């Protein structure tokens, strides 16, 4: 029983640290938590709720789920849990798979396309209902993997940000799980008996394996360098511009 409590407490503490380090939550914020039904978004939701109870500031939380069909089986399990814990939520229905199938172009990653559509739906709902922040369940592993994917395959030093103003200028994205390992969100979800659901996406088997390759690469490196993920994450906040090519180019151009 002790280990179960300590896992949840550890995650909540790390979420609290991220909130403090990056000013993710402020007084009178209205925060939508994008609840996909996966282990990460469930862990994020309950961590923010736990912190809200003892926070010296006031903020409001609501879970929002984008689902393809009101009759989707897993929605009842999610609704039952949310109702039993008194958590306000909203289900938004949109047949995203059909939209992706119709408009997907050759060479486009269906996961990225789907993500953009979901993000657009979230942005619109948040703006229309007066929610000023959207919390996403990206964890430490996502941050590190995205950094390496861009480095290896796009030739750019670019990752995720814990706090990012959306392109529409109206919404703010926050990622409070930045310090939390994926393996720990799985433990928290299991310990709390959360109704975790798989993606169930029809494109799940068609996406390229670059992210899986990066995951495996990091797993192999960790055998020799256990702290490699923490080091990569730390490097994202320790950038020395004068030792990068952009500084040399600007200097040569005289700008």
For each of the domains in the chain, give its residue range(s) and CATH number, in order of start: 2-253 (3.40.50.620)
Would the pLDDT of 200 be above 60? no
Average pLDDT estimate for 202-211:
63
Would the pLDDT of 116 be above 50? yes
33-61 pLDDT per residue, tens = 999 999 999 999 999 999 999 999 999 99
Mean predicted lDDT score pLDDT of the chain: 87
CA distance 110 to 31: 27
pLDDT at 55: 94
Would the pLDDT of 125 be above 70? yes
Tally of CA atoms within 13 A in the half-sphere of 77 that contains its CB: 12
pTM of the shown model: 0.88
| Distances in whole angstroms, Cα of residue 161 to Cα of each of 154, 172, 222, 236, 241 | 18, 11, 23, 9, 18
Candidates 155, 176, 144, 170; CA nearest to 51 is 176
pLDDT at 190: 94
**114 and 207 Cβ atoms separated by less than 8 Å:** no
Q: CB within 8 A of 148, min separation 6: which ones?
A: 214, 217, 218, 232
């Amino acid at each position: 029983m002790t280990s179960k409590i300590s896992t949840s407490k550890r995650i909540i503490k790390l979420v609290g640290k991220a909130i403090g380090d990056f000013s993710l939550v402020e007084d009178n914020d209205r925060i939508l938590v994008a609840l996909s039904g996966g282990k990460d978004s469930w862990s994020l939701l309950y961590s923010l709720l736990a912190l809200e109870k003892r926070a010296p500031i006031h903020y409001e939380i609501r879970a929002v789920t984008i689902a393809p069909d009101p009759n989707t089986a897993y929605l009842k399990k999610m609704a039952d849990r949310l109702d039993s814990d008194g958590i306000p939520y909203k289900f938004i229905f949109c047949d995203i798979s059909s939209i992706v199938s119709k408009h997907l172009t050759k060479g486009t990653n269906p996961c990225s396309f789907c993500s953009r559509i979901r993000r657009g739906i979230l942005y619109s709902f948040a703006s229309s209902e007066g929610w000023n922040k959207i919390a996403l369940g990206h964890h430490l592993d996502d941050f590190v993997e995205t950094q390496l994917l861009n480095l290896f395959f796009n030739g750019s030093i670019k990752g995720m940000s814990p706090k990012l103003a959306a392109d529409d200028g109206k919404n703010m994205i926050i990622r409070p799980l930045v310090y939390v390992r994926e393996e720990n969100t799985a433990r928290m979800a299991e310990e709390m008996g959360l109704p975790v659901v798989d993606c169930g996406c029809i494109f799940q088997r068609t996406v390229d394996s670059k992210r899986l390759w990066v995951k495996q690469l990091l797993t192999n490196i960790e055998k020799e360098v256990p702290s490699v993920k923490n080091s990569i994450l730390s490097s994202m906040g320790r950038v020395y511009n004068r030792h990068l090519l952009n500084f040399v180019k600007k200097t040569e151009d005289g700008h």
